[in-house]
Structure 1
Amino acid sequence: MTAFLSSLGGVSEILILVALGYALTARGWFDDRSSRIIAKVVTQVALPAYMVETICGRFTARELARLLPDLRFPVLSMAILFGLSFGVAKALAVPRARRGLFKSMFFNSNTVFIGLPVNMALFGPKSLPYVLVYYMANTTIFWTVGVYLIQKDGQQAAYFDWRQTLGKVFSPPLLGVFSGRFLFAPLIMYALVVFAPVPLLMKQVFILQSAMPVMTNAPVVAKLYGADSSNAAITVSATTLFSIVVIPILMTLVQHL
């Protein structure tokens, strides 16, 4: 129950921030220019500093050297998902102008805002090293391959329309991201670690982390590079909301590995 409440808190925090951002934009607090400035500050100033502080503050050199070999599991899992995203995008007829964003959201997960509190509540502080190992892999791949894919989508006009929004919520591409985040990702990670000679706790943490919702950074990066940021925001919100159902199921399953 504690783990479920922690995941619910993480989910609620993200949804409240999304709703607040939309409300303030609707009231005219932010225009397109200010949104791009915020996106640049977040991606080019705040996040690099945050990543350096996190790695330096959470790891010693010895711990980092000991845990680096474990990076192979999340890296390999995301590589498989990346390859799979090409076929899923084609099968679902995702528009070419959105395929980069689709692929990026397909194989990257929210490992900090939701993944961290869920694992800490479920397994305690002993899970932190494995959470951060997955975070290192996930964050590095997002800010390299993921950002490149979003950038390739090019300049797209961004505006909000309720009818169009509802169409995106129930669109095949969004459902495809659901298949990637909540079905393929945990199944692939399970197949990679189930017979591996590694601690059980690491297996449990990696499976949970792989199935977290879409990264909250995706809409920010999409806005920065002129991709479909509204589509990214809708996907983040929808997968985050759906994780309320998925996370308790996965928590039960990983405890029986």
Structure 2
Amino acid sequence: MAMFLHAISGVLVILGMIAVGYVLAKRNWFDEASTKLIAKIVTQLALPCYMLSTIMTDFSTKELKALLPDLKFPVLSMSVLFVVSILVAHILHIRRNRQGLFESMFFISNTVFVGLAVNVALFGQKSLPYVLVYYMANTTFFWTLGVYLIGRDGGQRGHLNWRQTLKQIFSPPLLGFALAVVLVLLHVKLPPFLMADFGYIGGLTIPLSMIFIGISVANAGITHIRFNRYNLGVLFGRFLLAPALMSLLVLPSSMPVLMKQVFILQSAMPAMTNAPVVAKLYGADSDYAAIMVAETTILSLVVIPILILLMN
């Protein structure tokens, strides 16, 4: 019960920051340019600094070497979910110009804007490497298979810009994580003033991420949320099938309990924030993607405490 109450407290902290973004967006504090700027600050500046500060401060060479073999669990989970997403799309008769979006949102989750904040709020800094292991698999799937599927919806079948894809996979957050790991493995110590800078800038990551989500929810419009086969199918994949499958994979394993909890929570995060942006770029149904991001984000605030209760 104590863990459940802690989970509720952590979710309320997150909800408070989302509410700030939502209210300010409703009061017209943000236009499209400022919203993009917040996302850019988080992904290209604050998050890489957060990786460097936290990993170099809190983790040893031995701990980091033990992480990478467990990358197989999120890879296997998302591979199975992708196959299931195709079957579910067929069973629900998802129309062709939404199939790619439906499938990508079914098996790929929001591991940074929501996942990072949730896990750090619930489990503390020790959860960060586990979050990043899942992120490595998730971001690779989204910027390769996910983008291909969304592009197919927009009539760009078979088209994949590999230069752009590699740029998105090897993004600043992942490069920040990789640099921090290399420096720890090589026992390199950075000057204290530089580590302090990384710490201060990295501290922007979680509050700005949550404010961004609040803005996204406000822009999508809660009144547009619907429960039909297009929405319920994605909710089934995100909040029921994904955590159930991940639980089956990790619970019998010998990995640390915290890693199991982080992987299960990461698998049940909302739909990827980048999905509407990519959909708009490729001429797919960006409104549907935006509504699903908002809907899954809101419902995750109910699902997360339930998952915490079931894991304890």
Under TM normalisation by the shorter chain, which class is it?
0.7 to 0.9
The 3 A distance-change label for structure 1 pair 124 and 227 is: same
Are the equivalent residues in 2 in contact too, given 1:11–1:241 (CA < 8 A)? no
1:55-84 deviation line (CA, Å, top 9, x unaligned): 666657956543211110011100010000
1:89-108 deviation line (CA, Å, top 9, x unaligned): 01111011110111110011
Runs of 5+ consecutive residues of structure 1 not aligned to the other structure:
none
1:216-246 deviation line (CA, Å, top 9, x unaligned): 1111111111111100010011111111211
SS of equivalent residue, structure 2 residue 98 = helix
Match of 1:120 in 2: 120
Are the equivalent residues in 2 in contact too, given 1:11–1:114 (CA < 8 A)? no
SS of equivalent residue, structure 1 residue 177 = helix
Structure 1 segments, 4+ long, off by >4 Å, are 11-24, 45-65
What is the letter of the counterpart of residue 66 of structure 1?
Answer: A
Higher relative contact order (CA 8 A, sep 6+): 2
What is the letter of the counterpart of residue 82 of structure 2?
Answer: F
Q: Give the CA deviation at 1:3.
A: 3.3
Are the equivalent residues in 2 in contact too, given 1:111–1:212 (CA < 8 A)? yes
Q: Give the CA deviation at 1:198.
A: 1.3
Q: Give the CA deviation at 1:4.
A: 2.7
Partner Cα distance (2:101, 2:21) in 1 = 21
Partner Cα distance (2:23, 2:290) in 1 = 10
Partner Cα distance (1:161, 1:128) in 2 = 30
Q: Give the CA deviation at 1:123.
A: 1.9
User: Does residue 216 of structure 2 align to residue 179 of structure 1?
Assistant: no
RMSD: 3.5
Q: Give the CA deviation at 1:49.
A: 7.4
Q: Give the CA deviation at 1:140.
A: 1.6
Are the equivalent residues in 1 in contact too, given 2:73–2:250 (CA < 8 A)? yes
1:24-59 deviation line (CA, Å, top 9, x unaligned): 6xx9x66xxx8xxx69xx79x995778876766665
User: Looking at CA atoms only, which structure, 1 or 2, has the larger radius of gyration?
Assistant: 2
User: Does residue 281 of structure 2 align to residue 247 of structure 1?
Assistant: no
Partner Cα distance (1:108, 1:95) in 2 = 20
Partner Cα distance (2:301, 2:9) in 1 = 10
Q: Percent identity?
A: 54
The 3 A distance-change label for structure 1 pair 216 and 8 is: farther
